[in-house]
Structure 1
Amino acid sequence: MKRARYIVMAAVALWAVLGLAAGAAEPVVLNVYMGWDSSHQVNQVINAYIAEYEALHPHVKINNLGRQESADVLLTHIIGGVAPDIVKGGMTMLLTLHMAEALTPVPEHIAQRIKAEFFPVAADAVTIDGRLIAVPMEGNSTALMVNQRILSEKGIGRIPDTWNEFAQLARRLTVYDSQGKIVTPALVEAGQEWSLCYFVLGMFKAEGAGLLDDQGNLTLNTPEARAAVQNLTTALTGNPYMQLGWGPQGRFKNGEIPFGLAFPWWLNGVNDISDFRTTLIPAGSQGYGSAFYNHGYAVTKDSKHQEEAWRFLEWLAFNKRGNEGTPLGHMAAKVGVLPITRWDASSVHFASILSAYGGFMDSLNHGVHPSTILSWGLNNWTVIARLVTDVANRGIAPDTAFENVTTILKTRLEEIRALRNK
């Protein structure tokens, strides 16, 4: 009888062990917005890493859902009970999801690794209210992109250190017609609100200005902010040397224009990359200023597989592969954006382009990012670009442009405060 009891107990224990093992290997399907449309070349790299991860973790299946950068669409999916496990987006989108309590914070052990191993500005840029809400990805900073061939042909050996001196050089390099209109500018920028706003933000830093104080109050209408904006508006009006738009940007990439206010992805598709280099944007009265932004991968609060989702992101971010760096670094190189960890900066995937990234990498030491602005709920902060475009393109007086933008931002802050006080 006693022996029979032991046999039964052993059988029960065996079934328990088998049950635990079966539970550990229970199939998991992760639905992930990796961030790019199916036609983008980076998907070859992404899908290879997904296949590798699935081979290492046979119980995991990862569906690459492509790209979705609309917070409203994602919230609709979440409310409808079909939340993706992982989303990728810019900080404005991620902030919207964070404010809707749709994201789960980065686990502390991963957050500590990000703070220790990523460039500080990259970690800071995904931090809201003291917590990391995403794994940083796709880092971009602002810098001055230079066509060295044109400068050599003009006998120019160095670029001035300050913006005022740079403006004098740029006017000499600009080609005007008999009516004083620009034929070929010396400086270009893409002119989109979502891009120009970062150069305004960087210029704020260079002149000692800011958008908000520590209490979240607007500090826009100050002499320092006006000086920052004036650096750009005077480049576009009066005796201009700068043009905005994709057309001028295309001419720059074709090698016709000496300077561009650029992001790293401008180097994609340039006519001859050996002609180009990058450097810091010339300094304002308070020193150098640049702006940084990155996207991030976040896990949704309604994900049924949060631990597995974070495990996958941790593998992408920290799986160092000798001189190849990490999977995230390889993806960044394929897209044409900055490495945001030191080991990825030395990987073979950046070897052919890193010298051209010099100014962008240097700008990380002088960069500001909009996460502090976003933490106050000011997700329409990009309207600061209108301080420039309304003056340059619409002929609005600078004072009126400041009044209009201040009203837009103040209204948004009041809306957010009302929501938070409910």
Structure 2
Amino acid sequence: MKRPLVIAALVLLILAVFFILVMNKIICLPSWLPLLGGQCENDTTPKEITLTYWSLWENAANIQPLIDKYQSLHPGVHIDFQQREPVNYFETVRARLATELTPDIIRVHNTWVPYLRKYLSAVPNEIMSPEVYEQTFYPVTKDTLYADGKYYAIPLEIDGLAMMYNKTLLSEAGITQLPRTWDEFKEVSAKLTKKDAAENITQAGTTLGYARGIEHFSDILGLLLAQRQIDFEDKNHRVSFHKSLSALGENLGVEVLNFYKIFSTSRKSWNDSWDCALDAFAEGKLAFFFAPSFRVLDIFGKNPNLPLGIAPVPQLAIDDPETPTVNWGTFWVETVPKHSPYQKEAWEFLSFLSQKENLAEMFRLAQNTPGRPFGEPYPRRDMAEELANNQYLSAYIIQAPTYTSWNMADATHDELLNDRIVKILQEMINKVNRGAKIQDYLNEAAAKTQQILDSL
């Protein structure tokens, strides 16, 4: 008699527990079951998720208020922001992207995207269509972030190469008009070059002509090649910067290298015994220095009183309809890996960050950081006016609509990609300065560059 009572009690207990689990939506039953079915279908309780965000450069304090704002608007979404070290960053990102242990959002250099794209998800149309994307951001994004009708990253900044100059050195030399063309630059940099009695350069006009110890010399080469309308790749995505010919059949890449070599020979304007161009500029020994905006922070870190001016880079010609204005872009973007289980949520958060008011807030927070005069330049076309009068950033924004970009970018911290190409270009410049077989050196650099890209 006792055994049936025990069994009945156990059954009732199990049913009671089951009922509690169903009513608390821990167990969900299909809607066709009477009474208890469909309890979870109208559940509006937010799902608890954590988005892991790998970033560089910006510290957490400059983005945390926006993270807090987003989390308050989206209960259940938590953002784990991690500022990573740049050393071996590309290699770490590439390795993690191939696994299930990837972060949900990763900042990468724009030139990395074509070689990481197989691991990345595309921006969903419902979050930002390609048409809206192209109306929002500068055209340079299409160079590296676009493929097969989709974009694979959202930029939260834009940057490129501008011409920094020492106002005092130019004033002392009586130079009141900044050079706008490379022919003008050639004359002005020569005028700013000073030598001692032994013909040693004591004040350099420019770093052009050399590679060793010259930050961003590879970006300058990329700019010069692009201004000559040289294709970096052909339609099959094979390296082609050594093949472009002029209407007269002359190799345009060779012409660029011959122009670059002028500054190490007949118009020598740099002391090649000096080890670092940035240091020379910060010390007041170099008149012109070509670099992205982030180098301003490095320069002021060494000499906060430097009389710094920044202007757009010279062009081949001004107001010539047959010679388009071309500038050089190099910038960082945010991506979402394919292996992230929260791709939609990650893109929604990046879309939130890319809104005008939130970019402005990040800029303000960064600008209030001690020792930092500005935040990251705005990547949106409709925010250009807001930086039009910024003494440090206006030149970069003026140039932004005509930026182009390729894998010749310096300071990208990627030993397997741009860093290796930069070393190849340095070897090429060294050979150009020592010998006369410029076409051979150009061909060799292109072949070695192709090997690097093939290895990825």
Q: Per the shorter chain, which TM-score range?
A: 0.7 to 0.9
Asked if the contact 1:175–1:183 (Cα under 8 Å) also holds between the matched residues in 2, the reply is yes
Amino acid at match of 2:55: M
Structure 1 equivalent of residue 352 of structure 2: 315
Asked if the contact 1:187–1:258 (Cα under 8 Å) also holds between the matched residues in 2, the reply is yes
SS of aligned partner of 1:236: coil
* Structure 1 residue 309: Cα displacement: 0.8
Q: Which has the larger displacement, 202-211 or 335-344?
A: 335-344
Matches within 5 A, 1:248-267: 248-267=277-296
TM score, norm. by length of structure 1: 0.79
* Structure 1 residue 199: Cα displacement: 1.3
* Structure 1 residue 164: Cα displacement: 2.4
Larger strand proportion of the pair = 1
* Structure 1 residue 383: Cα displacement: 5.5
Matched, 1:220 2:242: yes
Matched, 1:208 2:208: no
Structure 1 equivalent of residue 434 of structure 2: 395
Structure 1: runs of 5+ lacking an equivalent: 1-7
Q: Which has the larger displacement, 63-72 or 188-197?
A: 188-197
RMSD: 3.6
Cα distance in structure 1, aligned partners of 2:143 and 2:113: 14
Cα distance in structure 1, aligned partners of 2:354 and 2:271: 39
* Structure 1 residue 148: Cα displacement: 2.3
Q: Which has the larger displacement, 194-203 or 122-131?
A: 122-131
* Structure 1 residue 30: Cα displacement: 0.8
* Structure 1 residue 146: Cα displacement: 2.1
Cα distance in structure 1, aligned partners of 2:189 and 2:176: 14
Larger helix proportion of the pair = 1
Structure 2 equivalent of residue 230 of structure 1: 258
Q: Deviation per CA, 1:73-97, whole angstroms, max 9, x where unpaired?
A: 2343344431111111113433332
% same residue: 19
* Structure 1 residue 107: Cα displacement: 1.0
Q: Deviation per CA, 1:347-404, whole angstroms, max 9, x where unpaired?
A: 5xx58x723323222222432212899xxx9976546633763247x73545242232
Matched, 1:106 2:123: yes
Cα distance in structure 2, aligned partners of 1:262 and 1:398: 29
Cα distance change, pair 366–117 in 1 and its aligned pair in 2 (3 A): closer
* Structure 1 residue 229: Cα displacement: 2.1
Cα distance change, pair 390–295 in 1 and its aligned pair in 2 (3 A): same
Amino acid at match of 1:220: H
* Structure 1 residue 158: Cα displacement: 0.7
Asked if the contact 2:121–2:337 (Cα under 8 Å) also holds between the matched residues in 1, the reply is yes
2:194 aligns with one of 175, 184, 200 = 175
SS of aligned partner of 1:15: coil
Tell me the number of residue pairs that the alignment of Structure 1 and Structure 2 aligns.
Answer: 390
Structure 1 equivalent of residue 379 of structure 2: 340
Cα distance in structure 1, aligned partners of 2:188 and 2:37: 82
Q: Which has the larger displacement, 280-289 or 59-68?
A: 280-289
Cα distance change, pair 33–370 in 1 and its aligned pair in 2 (3 A): same
Q: Deviation per CA, 1:178-213, whole angstroms, max 9, x where unpaired?
A: 332322201237856883222111101223323223
Structure 2: runs of 5+ lacking an equivalent: 1-31, 246-250, 318-322, 410-415
TM score, norm. by length of structure 2: 0.74
Structure 1 equivalent of residue 18 of structure 2: none
Cα distance in structure 2, aligned partners of 1:309 and 1:233: 48
